[in-house]
Structure 1
Amino acid sequence: KSGDQTNSAIGRERAWLLIKGTVTFIWDGNNKTVTRNSCFDEAPFVLHVSKDTEVTIKTDSECEICVEQVDNNNNFDSKLYTPDDIRTDVFGAGTLNEASIRSVRTVFDGEINPLSNMVLGEVINHPGKWSSYPPHDHPQPEIYHYRFFPEQGFGISVLDDDAYTVKNGDTTLIAPDTTHSQGAAPGYAMYYIWMIPHLPEDRWLPTTRYYREEHKWLLEDNVKIWPEKKVGEK
């Protein structure tokens, strides 16, 4: 809530992702106040620090912050990622009748920060569309944290052969080597934060996705699916 203050110096790598609101980050002699009005329409501000960095966070409004932390003995330069720093990719365009079009924001991964022990990003599912698709898995565990617009919206999280309803504020833990994909209900945009820890001998990279054999055909160029014509066309 507005006026709160927290200090962090716990000897772990940490990242604070602002979901919504206004906060002041204080670290390494820096003092920066940032505002995010919508996690759907705006890329995030994220403060990322290594284990020896002390951080103070002051809230200047009602706000929501996601915290990711892992053990990591590497020291690296602290960084406040601004919306201009965030890479946004649109996946699924021009294929499968746009059924899996989504926007993927990568804050940092093993390529952006090789000394980090974790990965952090966001996905925006268009209403009625799928993401993390085709179904895939990887050796690293993963966490998703969800928001919907409007807030009464819902989606599904498919883990292996089980499907779970997800709603605003829910969190899903994806165990290692678990096949996963996500779907948003029609009419509702779905946002989720994705967080992955690197394994000691197996760091996650954008290519670390292993697709289920029976669904690999969906990745082929110019793949044809039913119906090939739009509804109503002759």
Structure 2
Amino acid sequence: MSEPKILTRGWDPITPADAGWTFVSFAVHTLAAGQSLDLPADGQERALVPLAGTASVTAGEQQWKFGGRDSVFDGVGHCLYLPLDSAGVLTAVTDLEIAVAASPATTRYDAVLVTPDDTEIELRGGGNASRQVNSLMPPAFRADRLHVIEVWTPGGNWSSYPPHKHEHDHDGESELEETYYYRLRDPENGWALQRVYSPERGFDLAQRVGDGDLLLIPWGYHTTVAAHGQDLYYLNVLAGPAPKRTLQAFQDPSLKAAQDAWPAAGIDDRLPMISNDPR
């Protein structure tokens, strides 16, 4: 399995072969209004999340129109889940930027459109490690392997701190491949820092990330910090081999005291950053 790595803006769609793993595929497509993209029946389940603009998808006798936000900082997302072997066509109703995640699947579930009405704003962490989370496809979602989550982090805050990992399938931890797709409110000047490390492997990555970059995490503790004044969004996709849907994470035990302090610190008063009112 490959090491964790960051791909800078302009990366090509990622397949498991590209990433050096087994499950997660990820792409972001930019389509002009009226353009279409075929979605093949190829043994995978898919999740489609409009980042900006409105999409229409036809699969069999079903059709959905969804999206509508101007950017990821103008509202929480919609997500269309297409189950195993759903052939369809994606069409841009307006100019469209859309993320498409996929994973091999073995069980076919029903197609589901998740709207802002179906999700709740979650505020996690505390103090300068507070963030806003929109779980589009959480563990309770009826899908095979895919999990999809949106996260917003105010400038200057840490996100998913203390660092955690999804590396081994045992009590208290799940084995999951993971991608982070980053967007900044100020795309030209905004940036964040990403760290991924594994003491047992002697690995430590600490790198600047910018708007449109993509992180591949096959293993290792990981955490992100947004630069001061630079609000950060990332779309988080996870999938793994476990037959039970779970996002159990193992946190770096050396930093447990930091998590214990969050309740007393309270949530950053800049949160929530983004409304979940339907667009």
| TM-score calculated relative to the size of structure 2 | 0.73
Which residue of structure 1 lines up, in the alignment, with residue 35 of structure 2?
Answer: 4
Alpha-carbon deviation of 1:6?
1.4
Write the letter of the residue equivalent to 1:21. G
Which residue of structure 2 lines up, in the alignment, with residue 169 of structure 1?
Answer: 212
Write the letter of the residue equivalent to 1:4. Q
Which residue of structure 2 lines up, in the alignment, with residue 145 of structure 1?
Answer: 181
* Pair member with larger Rg: 1
String of CA shifts for 1:64-92, please: whole Å, max 9, x gaps.
11111111020111001111112321012
Residues 39 and 88 in structure 2, CA contact (< 8 A), matched pair in contact too: yes
Write the letter of the residue equivalent to 2:227. A
Note if 1:154 corresponds to 2:191. yes
Write the letter of the residue equivalent to 2:52. K
Write the letter of the residue equivalent to 1:170. D
Alpha-carbon RMSD across the aligned residues, in angstroms, is 1.9
CA distance in structure 1 between the aligned counterparts of 2:54 and 2:243, rounded to whole angstroms: 38
Which residue of structure 1 lines up, in the alignment, with residue 230 of structure 2?
Answer: 188
Structure 2 unaligned segments of length 5 or more: list them. 1-31, 168-175, 198-203, 266-279
Residues 110 and 116 in structure 1, CA contact (< 8 A), matched pair in contact too: no
| Change in 2 beyond 3 A, CA 1:202/1:138 | farther
Q: Which has the higher contact order (CA 8 A, sep 6+)?
A: 2
Residues 22 and 61 in structure 1, CA contact (< 8 A), matched pair in contact too: yes
Which residue of structure 1 lines up, in the alignment, with residue 172 of structure 2?
Answer: none
- Match of 1:219, SS state, is helix
Specify which of 70, 73, 95 is matched with residue 106 of structure 2. Answer: 73
Aligned length: 217
- Match of 2:238, SS state, is strand
Q: Map 1:92-103 onto structure 2 (within 5 A).
A: 92=125, 95=126, 98-103=127-132
Residues 60 and 87 in structure 2, CA contact (< 8 A), matched pair in contact too: yes
| Change in 2 beyond 3 A, CA 1:83/1:224 | closer
Structure 1 unaligned segments of length 5 or more: list them. 226-234
Write the letter of the residue equivalent to 1:99. N
Alpha-carbon deviation of 1:44?
0.9
- Match of 2:257, SS state, is helix
- Segments ≥4 residues shifted beyond 6 Å: 222-225
Identical aligned pairs, as a percentage?
A: 26
String of CA shifts for 1:108-167, please: whole Å, max 9, x gaps.
122222x42111011001111111111111121210001001112000111113311000
| TM-score calculated relative to the size of structure 1 | 0.86
Which residue of structure 2 lines up, in the alignment, with residue 112 of structure 1?
Answer: 141
Residues 191 and 209 in structure 2, CA contact (< 8 A), matched pair in contact too: yes
Residues 149 and 236 in structure 2, CA contact (< 8 A), matched pair in contact too: yes
Q: Which has the higher strand share?
A: 1
Write the letter of the residue equivalent to 1:26. T
Which residue of structure 1 lines up, in the alignment, with residue 241 of structure 2?
Answer: 199
- Match of 1:188, SS state, is coil
Write the letter of the residue equivalent to 2:79. V
Alpha-carbon deviation of 1:41?
3.0
Residues 106 and 144 in structure 2, CA contact (< 8 A), matched pair in contact too: no
CA distance in structure 2 between the aligned counterparts of 1:82 and 1:48, rounded to whole angstroms: 11
CA distance in structure 2 between the aligned counterparts of 1:126 and 1:104, rounded to whole angstroms: 12
Residues 158 and 164 in structure 1, CA contact (< 8 A), matched pair in contact too: yes
Which residue of structure 1 lines up, in the alignment, with residue 54 of structure 2?
Answer: 22
Write the letter of the residue equivalent to 2:222. H
- Match of 2:37, SS state, is strand
Residues 161 and 259 in structure 2, CA contact (< 8 A), matched pair in contact too: no
